[in-house]
A and B are shown apart, each in its own frame.
Chain A
Amino acid sequence: MASTIPVKIEFTGGLEILFSHQRSHKIALPSSDPSTNQPANVGFLIDWLCKNLMKDPREDMFVLEGTVRPGILVLINDADWELEGQEAYELQAGDEVVFVSTLHGG
C-alpha cells in the first residue's frame, strides 16, 4: 500500500455529530488517490472522510452532489478554501483542514 500523510481535521458548528461527536481528528490520509493515481487533494479527502471517518448515515448533511454541502465552510490552514483552489488543493503533511457548518441554529 502506498504511503500516507498526516493531516489534522476539525469539525465544528454542529458537524461534530456526524463524526462520533469528536471535534478534532488526526488522520493518516493515503498520499495519492488510488482511482486517479494523482496526489491526494481536498476532493479526495472529503470522499475519504465520508467512507472512513463518518459514523453517521446522514452523509447528505456533509456532502451534496459530490462536494461539501453549501453552507459548510472549509478552511485550509486557517484560510478560506476558495483562496486555496478548493477541491484541487493538494494536501501536504501537517496540513490542517477545518469544516465549519453555518447551517445550525443561531
Chain B
Amino acid sequence: MPPRECEICHTNRAQILRPKNHARICAPCFIAIFEDEVAETVTSTNLFNPGERVAIGASGGKDSTVLASVLKTLNDRHNWGLDLVLLSIDEGITGYRDHSLEAVKRHSEQYDLPLKIVSYADLYGWSMDQVVAQVGKKGNCTYCGVFRRQALDRGAAMLGVGHVVTGHNADDVAETVLMNLLRGDLPRLSRATSIVTSTPSAALPENGEGEIKFTNVKRSKPLIYAYEKEIVMYAHHKKLDYFSTECIYSPEAFRGSARTLIKNLERIRPESILDVVRSGIDMAKLVPGAEEQNSQRACGGENKAAAAKTDEGDGLGGCGSSKESGGEMAAMEQKLLQDEEAQANGNEVEIKMPKKTVNSQNGVARDTQDAADAEIDVKNGQQQSPAQQTVPIRTKEEKKSRKRGKDAPPPKQKLGQCERCGYLSSQSVCKACVLLEGLNKARPRTGIEVGGGD
C-alpha cells in the first residue's frame, strides 16, 4: 500500500479518502477542513447577517444533525453572533418521527440550542398516520411534502425567525438535478441548485414593521457542497448521535433510481456528484427567469420575487419526497394541476361579483383593468402565469406571451396568497388547502380549518 500518513499534518495515519479530490487525510484534519469548507460556503455567499436569528430544520437524521453541530461550532468559533434554534416538524408518524424527535431533543440539550416542535395535527388537523389511513400509502408523500414546506415556515414565524437552514447536501442536490433533468422540469432544477431559495416577501404588501410572517421566510442549504459521505464521516468521527430509520411510509424511496444512479457514479468517479451539482447550476442560468434567481444567489437572496417559492415543496425534508421514484409524484402533481385548472375555471364565474374582496384576499394589487384582462384571458382558454409557472414544457402560448413581454414591461408573476390560509401561492387556493379540502370532504366531520391563520 502507498504511504498511509495524512497528507495535511504528515503525522497521523490517513483515515479518510476525500471524494472530491482523493486526498488521504486523518480524522482531526478532516473535521477541521470540513468545518472550514462550510464556513467558506457561508461567508462567500453572505448567507447570514450578523446577529440573525436562524432556525435549523432538524429531523434528527444525519444531515440536520451535522448541520446543527457544524453551525453551532462555527458560530462560536467565528463569532458570527447567530441566534440559532432547532425547528422540528412532527408529521405524526408513529414509530418513525416520534423516535427521531427524541434524537432532536437530545441535540437540543447537547448543543444548548432551544427547540420548537410544530405538528401537522396542530397545523392541519391531520397527522400523517391519519392521512395514510385515509388515502393509503400511495401518494401520501405528496401530502407530507406539501404540508412540510408550510409547516417549517409557520414554525419559523412562530419563533420570530426569518431564515430556515436545511441539511440538503451535494448528493441530494445532484439527485434532484438528475430527476428534474429526466422529467424535463428545468424550473425546479434551477431552484434545487440555488443555495438560497427565494424570498417572495417583496411581492407582498408590507405588514407591520419587520414582523416575521410565515410568507417571507428565507430558506438556505449551507451543506450544498458537502458530500453525503463526508457528512456521515463527520458524524462518525465526531461521534454525533443521529437517527437513521427510513420513513415507514416510503420504503420504496430507498430505491429511488436517481439516488442509485448517483451512488453508482460516485463509486466509479466520486467527482461526478459535485460535477452534476455544478452542471445543474450552469443549466439553471439558462432557465427563463434565471437572471433573478442568479442575482439572488449572488446577493444572498434579498427579494426578487419572480423566482417564486411556490407551495409545492421542492423535495424538502428527511423523507421520501426527493428520493421517491418520479412517476408517482409526477402523477400526483398532474392531478393537482388539473384540480388547479378546474379551480381557475370556477373563478371565471366568481370573479365578477366580489372583485374587491377577491383582490384583498389575494393580497395582490390588481386594478380593475387587469382583472378584466385576466378574465378575458381565462375565457380564451389562455392559462395565466400560474400555469406558466407549473407547466414544465414551454408551449406556443407561453412563447407568445413571452414575446409580448419583451415590448411591454415584463409580465409580473401573479404570486399572491392563498385565500384560505394566506400562504404564498400562485393559485387562489394553495396546494396544502386543496389537499386538505379533499381530506376533509372525505372525513365525516365538519368544521376543520387550516390552523395557524397567523
Residues on A lying within 8 angstroms of B by beta carbon are 12-14, 17, 61, 69-71, 73, 75, 78-80, 82-85, 98, 100-106
Contacts and interface: CB of A to CB of B under 8 A. Distances in A.
B62, B233, B260 — which one has the most chain A CB atoms within 10 A of its CB? B62
B62 A73 contact: no
Given A70-B266, A79-B15, A13 B27 contact: no
A66 B320 CA distance: 27
A102 B229 contact: yes
Given A102-B231, A103-B259, A104-B245, 10 more contacts: A14-B244, A14-B245, A17-B245, A70-B267, A78-B27, A85-B1, A104-B246, A106-B167, A106-B169, A106-B231
Contact of B263 (A12, A70, A84): A70
Contact of B61 (A83, A85, A100, A105): A105
A10 to B, nearest CB: 10
A79 B263 CA distance: 20
Nearest to A14: B244
B64 interface: yes
A13 B4 CA distance: 27
A87 B37 CA distance: 31
B14 A105 contact: no
B236 interface: yes
B4, B172, B245 — which one has the most chain A CB atoms within 10 A of its CB? B245
A84 to B, nearest CB: 7
Contacts of B4: 83
14 contacts: A12-B236, A70-B267, A71-B263, A73-B232, A79-B13, A83-B16, A101-B244, A104-B246, A105-B61, A105-B245, A105-B246, A106-B167, A106-B228, A106-B318
A77 to B, nearest CB: 9
A70, A85, A106 — which one has the most chain B CB atoms within 10 A of its CB? A106
Contacts of B266: 70-71
A81 B247 CA distance: 29
B248 to A, nearest CB: 11
Given A73-B233, A78-B27, A83-B24, A103 B167 contact: no
B269 to A, nearest CB: 12
A105 B247 contact: yes
B245 A103 contact: no
A6 to B, nearest CB: 22
Contacts of B17: 80, 82-83
A102 B228 contact: yes
Given A103-B254, A105-B318, A83 B15 contact: yes
B13, B15, B259, B266 — which one has the most chain A CB atoms within 10 A of its CB? B15
Given A104-B246, A106-B59, A83 B14 contact: yes
Contacts of B263: 69-71, 103
B73 interface: no
Interface string B2-28: 001000000001111100000010010
Nearest to B172: A106
Contacts of B61: 104-106
B232 A13 contact: yes
A17 B96 CA distance: 14
A71 B265 CA distance: 10
A12, A14, A82, A102 — which one has the most chain B CB atoms within 10 A of its CB? A102
Nearest to A67: B267
Given A73-B233, A83-B24, A102-B232, A78 B15 contact: yes
Contacts of B38: none
B63 interface: yes
A75 B236 contact: yes
B16 A70 contact: no
Contact of A80 (B16, B64, B167, B247): B16
B46 to A, nearest CB: 26
A73 B229 contact: yes
A56 to B, nearest CB: 13
A100 B236 contact: yes
Contacts of B229: 73, 102
Nearest to A98: B236
Contacts of A12: 236, 244
A103 B58 CA distance: 18
B241 to A, nearest CB: 10
Contacts of B264: 70
Interface string B319-338: 11000000000000000000
Interface string B238-259: 0000001111000000100001
A80 B245 CA distance: 23
Contact of B232 (A61, A69, A78, A100): A100
A29 B295 CA distance: 59
Contacts of A100: 232, 236
